Structure 1
C-alpha cells in the first residue's frame, strides 16, 4: 500500500569483478523487510578506470529518480548500501551528495531523491591508506589516475558533520576490518550519527561481506540490524 522506501545497492568486487546477480537473494531478503531494492551493474576495470564506475552509479541513481513513479517508489525515503568496493563508492557518493564543492569536482548534479541514511558493509574506506590499492585494484586506480586524480580519492577530506547517518558493519575475519574500525572513530570525531557493528566471534568467525549469505543466521541478524537502523530515518508524509 502506498509508496515504498528505496534501498539502492552498489555491489562489491574490488572494482574489477562482481555482478548484481550475486546480490539477488540478499536483495530479496531486504525487500521482504519492507523496502524496494534497486540492484544494478556497472562497468568494471580494466575496461574502465576511475571514476567511470562511480559515473555509472551516478547514472543509475538518476535513473531511479526519473523512473520512481513507475514502480511506486518513495523518492522521499532513499537509502544507500554498498559492500567492499561498493562500500567505498557508497561512502564517496554520500560525500558527493552532502558536499557541493566535492560534487563540483565530479561534475555531478543532485538527483531528485531524499537520501536518509547509508550502510557501509566491509567497506574499503580510507582508500589512500597503505596497502589498499594494489594487485588487480590497480587496473582501476592506475598509476596515472593516482598521479592526476589523487585529490578525488581522498574522500574523507570532504566528509562534513552533515554526512548521512551511517551504519558500519564488519566481521571478525574481514580482511579490511581495521578500515571499518578506523571509520567508526573518524565519524565519532566528526560528530556524525552512526552505528558500528562487528559480527562473529572466535567460535563463529565471519568473513568479508558475509552478510549477503541468506542461509547464515548471523548474516540475517546483521541485515535485521541494518534495516532497523534505516527504519528510524524513514519520514512519513
Structure 2
C-alpha cells in the first residue's frame, strides 16, 4: 500500500502510468526548439519551458500545459517529451511549473496559470505563437487547474468571486484538453482515488478539505457556461477518477458545448491513471492521435 509519504516522494499519485515517450521521440527532439526556464511570474520566480516547431512559416496556436502530481508534487520536466510531441505537430507549447502545496495553497496555482497566460500574451508572438488561438491542457491535478482556469476565463461570475482578471478573452480560448482530472469536490472522495484526502487537505490547508470555505470554486462542473471552450476529455477505464470525467463531459454538453471523449467504457482494458503518457502503447497513441485531431479542428 502506498502511503502519503510515498506518494510525495515519488512526486506522482499512486497508480500513475509509467511515462514512456513516443517511438519517434528522437525525430521530435531534433525538430523542436526548446527554450527552458523562462520566468513567467517575477514574485515567485515560477518557470515555464517553451517548445517551438523548428520551422515556422506562420504563427501557430499556443498550448499551455499544466502538470499533475496531486498539487504536492510533479514538475514540468516530467511532461517534457509529451509537450514536445504536441509542439512537433505545429504548436507553441508552454509547459509550466507552479508552486506546490502545502507551501503554496489554493488558489495560488490558478493565479499562477493565469500569470503564465499573461506572460504568453506579452511574449508568445516573439516566438511565433498566435494568442488568438489558445488551448489549456493538463493531467490529474493539472487537469483540474486547467479546467478551473478555463471556467474563470469563460465565466465572469467565477472570475469576480475569485477576484481574478483573466489574462485572455473567452473567444481566444479555442479548447481545453483534460486528462484524468477531478472536477466535483462533493463526490471526489467517493471515487476512492489513493490519498485524495491527503492531496486536497494539503492544497486547501485544512484538516478536512470538505470543510474548506471556498471548496465549491474547485468544482468545475458547477461553473460551466455556454462560453466554456470546446473540450477533449480522456480517462482510463481503470482510473478511479473516471466518473469525474464522465460527469464533467455531461455538464459541458448540457451547455451546448462540443465535447470529444475517450473513456474506454465497457472495454475492460483496465487503463490506469495517466495512461495517456505511456506512449509505447496503442491506447495512448490512439489518444494522442485524437488529441492532435481535436487541436487541428479547433485551431481553424
- Normalised by the length of structure 2, the TM-score is 0.73
Aligned twin of 1:57: 113
Q: Does 1:134 align with 2:197?
A: yes
Equivalent position to 1:115, from 148, 173, 181 = 173
Bigger Cα Rg = 2
The structural deviation recorded for 1:89 is 0.9
- The 2-side partners of 1:39 and 1:58 are apart by 13
Aligned twin of 1:102: 158
Aligned twin of 2:86: 30
- The 1-side partners of 2:153 and 2:174 are apart by 11
CA-to-partner distance for each residue in 1:56-80, whole Å, 9 max, x for gaps?
1111111111111221101111111
Equivalent position to 1:153, from 218, 221, 224 = 218
The structural deviation recorded for 1:116 is 0.3
Aligned twin of 1:222: 287
- The 2-side partners of 1:62 and 1:227 are apart by 25
- The 2-side partners of 1:61 and 1:180 are apart by 25
- The 2-side partners of 1:174 and 1:161 are apart by 29
The structural deviation recorded for 1:155 is 3.1
C-alpha RMSD over aligned residues:
1.9
Aligned twin of 2:258: 193
Instruction: For residue 7 of structure 1, give the secondary structure of its aligned residue in structure 2.
Output: strand
Q: Any conservation in 2 of the 1:3–1:73 contact (CA below 8 Å)?
A: yes
List gaps (5 residues or longer) in structure 2: 1-56, 191-195
The structural deviation recorded for 1:165 is 0.4
The structural deviation recorded for 1:152 is 2.4
- Answer with 162-171 or 131-140: which moved more: 131-140
Aligned twin of 1:176: 241
List gaps (5 residues or longer) in structure 1: none
- The 2-side partners of 1:61 and 1:24 are apart by 19
- Answer with 140-149 or 100-109: which moved more: 140-149
Aligned twin of 1:81: 137
- The 2-side partners of 1:116 and 1:107 are apart by 23
Equivalent position to 2:148, from 84, 92, 99 = 92
The structural deviation recorded for 1:153 is 2.7
- The 2-side partners of 1:136 and 1:85 are apart by 9
Q: Any conservation in 2 of the 1:25–1:214 contact (CA below 8 Å)?
A: no
- Classify 1:153/1:73 alpha carbon distance in 2 versus 1 (closer, same or farther; 3 Å): same
How many corresponding residue pairs?
234
CA-to-partner distance for each residue in 1:124-162, whole Å, 9 max, x for gaps?
111232507512331112338743323423432221122
The structural deviation recorded for 1:199 is 4.2
- Classify 1:112/1:50 alpha carbon distance in 2 versus 1 (closer, same or farther; 3 Å): closer
Instruction: For residue 78 of structure 1, give the secondary structure of its aligned residue in structure 2.
Output: strand
- Normalised by the length of structure 1, the TM-score is 0.91
